[in-house]
Structure 1
Amino acid sequence: MARPIKHGQKWRIRWIDEKGERRSAVYDTRPLAMRAQRAREHEVDEVKQGLRAPAPPDMKFTDLEDYWIKHRVPQKRSGQNDISIIKKHLHPAFRNRRLRDLGVHAVDALVATLATKHRKTVANVLTLLISMLNAAVELGWLLKAPRIRKPKVKTADADFRYLRTKEQLALFLGAARSEGDHIHALYATAIHTGLRAGELAALRWDDVDFSRRIITVSKSFDGPTKSGVVRHVPLVDALLPTLAAWKLRGPGVRLFTSERGTMLGKSARPFQEVLHRVLKGAGIAEVERNGKMVRAITFHGLRHTFASHWVMAGGDIFKLQRILGHQSVAMTMRYAHLAPDAFAGDLARFGPAQGTGPGVVIELPRRTG
């Protein structure tokens, strides 16, 4: 067996792999180098005897990054999110490390850098890392992906922001009208259909059937809808006059466009700064969230507003699932507690009230001193 040799302040090992090619590696201490030498030579013997699969090529994480961005990102609707996560979190953590060296310790070190991030952010980063490492296995660049535990994140969080009362709705739409009929029509459509911003931007008059009172939703900003499924949304009474009047004034192909007549982009003013002005004009105050004061809603909050008022008005939760385009009813169930009779059938589930008569609640004086 060959022995490690001194290499500066470290120790180098050399061996010949199963293909007959010379290989080398450097370690911090002689004992580590000795163990690695024995392990490498033992692996080569097992491969030659057919007891072990050949070692994968020495690919680095940067090679995997390049492959993912070139081949996988273009296939994904969330491709830009992948690029952002890679640049912000994965590349700084792994850089030029070999894929075979990305074990539990390396992943734990990554998670430690995300300690101050929201659990969902951590889950998103680890989900992408798992997918990328599984791709490396498929490519033969890695024998086995390390086991990675993601933090549990609720499928649907009931702590969402929406316009809670009919009075708020009226104030909001009244303030929207002061920004122009196009803003009023856009916001009214968002509130009464639950469409996402991208779906509203891609909506065409051909998608609106006034006779059947149906809106067909098939596209978003950059392609299909989030779920990739075409769905049909009812054109409700509250929205019908607004859309009918807007059609008379909007002869273009799309319902809502920029001032130049182009398709609204993700950062278009109606989705951000105009919304902020409308909230302020409606007198809808900021709310506290995670210790900070934030605006009462984002544009996506109009989608939550539609769903919440649908349920509060007694609408069917399974119809709502189809209208919103949720693949799982678990996402839609976040609104279920808003149903007016949500617990009406449960009040007597343990039998009638016990005792001889109705109870009386009295306020006891507080003890002082």
Structure 2
Amino acid sequence: MANLKTHLTDAICSRARPETREYALRDERQPCLSLRVRPSGAKTWEVRERSNGVPVRSTLGTFPSMGVKAARMAAVAFLAGDRRPVRRSVTFRELCAQHELRHAANLKPSGLRTYRTYVRLQLLPAFGASPIDAITRRDIVCWFERYGLTSPGGANRALGILSQMLTSAQRWEMLPPDWSNPAVGIRLNRRRAIGTFLSKPQMARLGSVLARRSHIGCPAAGVLEALLLTGCRVGEILSLRWEDVRPDRLWLRDSKTGARDVPLGTAARRFFTSYRRRRTAARGRHKVFQFGEAVPYERVRTVWLSVRKEAQLPGTLRIHDLRHSFASHAIMAGESLFTVSRLLGHKRIQTTARYAHLADDTLRASAERIGMLILDQVEPPTRRRNAPSTQTKTDGGA
């Protein structure tokens, strides 16, 4: 290919193939800039200038580690007198390694595993070899839409990680100050509500089955009963120790949102008092619910499947729906979203709103109250009492 002058893009530079002799692709937008392609396959950015009437070529960097946009900025700075070595553009793979060392290492073990899974299975295959300054909004949108077809929620989570990583790269001066994050502002996939909650009759049947199994020494039934009474997460209850069961609250050392207190109502206090009395090892630093050699969560899940069938509950009901039920019944009892969010340990009220489901009779009662309130404003009760009857009298002789 002879020396060619064109509007260079990353795609054009990537498609440039080596030939028997080296050649240069000159940029129309920045005339002094060119990409030199050598027979070995190496591609380098060069700036052409004249010094005392003699043409001089200076190397700025290599492609693809330095994209077109970064090369143009480097050429302008070079011609303006900034002859410092140009920093090589960081690839996304290198950013991932830096981000895990400087940020992700502070995550909890479970959160770190989730973070690494998204990076390894989704982000690295899509962007690993790309320089971070060459990642465009179109690249991200195309990847996000493909991933969203199979896992809308996973795509949302991975996009959030990608956006945070690129923002961190700019803060760590891996990107120029005027750079705009291409992952910001992309519309997330709508989350499909899959949770449900137990009605009062279902709660009664479940409570009866759990109480019967808990009294005969089934620790998994005790876990499920504690979940129903406190609204805690499964992992929070399984890691609970007796020293953290206070007279009026639970102290959760390793909650999903950090250490926190969980206030206990009368029913929950009675449950833990009774359960402690029945357990001979309920002292010191022992866990409240002990399973011996069995894997705790797997044992709880096995018992849950049996309990769900015995209590005649829907086959789609999950253990986590006990937490949904706690939130929903609290709101139907008149508690505010803010109060329920504090009980559940949510940082955002929007998260609590997704948990809250309302029974039909609660909605009908609310509609009735609102309707009467409006009617009282439009037509006061005194006017309604004094209003003439709408029934017409029939005159038999007429």
**Given the two structures, how large is their TM-score scaled by the length of structure 1?**
0.73
Q: Name the structure 1 match of 2:162.
A: 129
Q: Name the structure 1 match of 2:51.
A: none
User: AA paired with 1:302?
Assistant: L
Q: Distance in 2 between matches of 1:130 and 1:53?
A: 30
The 1:92–1:66 alpha-carbon spacing in structure 2 relative to 1, beyond 3 Å, is same
Q: Is the 8 A contact 2:35 2:46 kept in 1?
A: no
The 1:284–1:205 alpha-carbon spacing in structure 2 relative to 1, beyond 3 Å, is same
User: AA paired with 2:63?
Assistant: A
Moved more, 327-336 or 127-136: 327-336
The secondary structure found in structure 1 opposite 2:374 is coil
Q: CA deviation at 1:85?
A: 0.8
Q: Name the structure 2 match of 1:25.
A: 63
Considering Cα pairs closer than 8 Å and 6+ residues apart, tell me whether 1 or 2 has the greater RCO.
1
Q: Name the structure 1 match of 2:372.
A: 348
Q: CA deviation at 1:171?
A: 2.4
Q: Name the structure 2 match of 1:200.
A: 237
Q: Distance in 1 between matches of 2:303 and 2:332?
A: 28
Q: CA deviation at 1:247?
A: 0.3
Q: CA deviation at 1:357?
A: 7.2
Q: Is the 8 A contact 2:95 2:165 kept in 1?
A: yes
Q: Name the structure 1 match of 2:260.
A: 230
Q: Name the structure 2 match of 1:90.
A: 123
Q: Deviations for 1:292-336, whole angstroms, at most 9, x for unmatched residues?
A: xxx22x221111111222233344544323221222333334537
**Given the two structures, how large is their TM-score scaled by the length of structure 2?**
0.68
The 1:51–1:347 alpha-carbon spacing in structure 2 relative to 1, beyond 3 Å, is farther
The alignment status of 1:186 with 2:223, answered yes or no, reads yes
Q: Deviations for 1:246-272, whole angstroms, at most 9, x for unmatched residues?
A: 1023224221122249xx76xx22442
Aligned Cα root-mean-square deviation (Å):
3.8
Matches within 5 A, 1:147-162: 147-148=182-183, 149-152=185-188, 160-162=195-197
The 1:105–1:151 alpha-carbon spacing in structure 2 relative to 1, beyond 3 Å, is closer
Q: CA deviation at 1:285?
A: 2.8
| Match of residue 348, structure 2, among 317, 322, 328 | 328
Moved more, 188-197 or 324-333: 324-333
Q: Name the structure 2 match of 1:310.
A: 330
Q: Deviations for 1:221-280, whole angstroms, at most 9, x for unmatched residues?
A: xxx32222522312323x44432221023224221122249xx76xx2244232222212
The secondary structure found in structure 1 opposite 2:346 is coil
The alignment status of 1:173 with 2:197, answered yes or no, reads no
Instruction: Please list every run of 5 or more consecutive structure 1 residues that lacks an aligned counterpart in the other structure.
Output: 27-34, 287-294, 360-369
Q: Distance in 1 between matches of 2:351 and 2:137?
A: 32
The secondary structure found in structure 1 opposite 2:186 is coil
| Match of residue 142, structure 1, among 175, 183, 190 | 175
The secondary structure found in structure 1 opposite 2:273 is helix
The 1:53–1:159 alpha-carbon spacing in structure 2 relative to 1, beyond 3 Å, is farther
Q: Distance in 2 between matches of 1:330 and 1:342?
A: 21
Q: Name the structure 1 match of 2:321.
A: 301
Q: Is the 8 A contact 1:122 1:151 kept in 2?
A: no
The secondary structure found in structure 1 opposite 2:206 is helix
| Match of residue 305, structure 2, among 276, 291, 294 | 276
The 1:245–1:41 alpha-carbon spacing in structure 2 relative to 1, beyond 3 Å, is closer
Higher Cα Rg, which structure = 2
Q: Is the 8 A contact 1:317 1:336 kept in 2?
A: no
User: AA paired with 1:184?
Assistant: A
More helix by share: 2
Q: Distance in 2 between matches of 1:318 and 1:13?
A: 58
The 1:107–1:206 alpha-carbon spacing in structure 2 relative to 1, beyond 3 Å, is same
The secondary structure found in structure 2 opposite 1:209 is coil
Q: Deviations for 1:116-152, whole angstroms, at most 9, x for unmatched residues?
A: 1444322211110001111111222222253223334
Moved more, 326-335 or 273-282: 326-335
The 1:232–1:10 alpha-carbon spacing in structure 2 relative to 1, beyond 3 Å, is closer
The 1:130–1:42 alpha-carbon spacing in structure 2 relative to 1, beyond 3 Å, is closer
Q: Name the structure 2 match of 1:243.
A: 272
The 1:53–1:199 alpha-carbon spacing in structure 2 relative to 1, beyond 3 Å, is farther
Q: Distance in 2 between matches of 1:357 and 1:82?
A: 70
- The count of residues paired between Structure 1 and Structure 2 equals 325
Matches within 5 A, 1:287-298: 295-296=316-317, 298=318
Q: CA deviation at 1:158?
A: 6.4
Q: Distance in 2 between matches of 1:343 and 1:75?
A: 48
Q: Is the 8 A contact 1:57 1:141 kept in 2?
A: no
Matches within 5 A, 1:63-82: 63-77=94-108, 78-82=111-115
Q: Distance in 1 between matches of 2:352 and 2:81?
A: 53
Q: Distance in 2 between matches of 1:325 and 1:315?
A: 15
The secondary structure found in structure 1 opposite 2:204 is helix
The alignment status of 1:46 with 2:77, answered yes or no, reads yes
Q: Give me the identity figure in percent.
A: 18
Q: Is the 8 A contact 2:33 2:75 kept in 1?
A: no
Q: Is the 8 A contact 1:194 1:302 kept in 2?
A: yes
Q: Distance in 2 between matches of 1:136 and 1:151?
A: 22
Q: Is the 8 A contact 2:44 2:60 kept in 1?
A: no
Q: Is the 8 A contact 1:160 1:304 kept in 2?
A: yes
Q: Distance in 1 between matches of 2:195 and 2:138?
A: 36
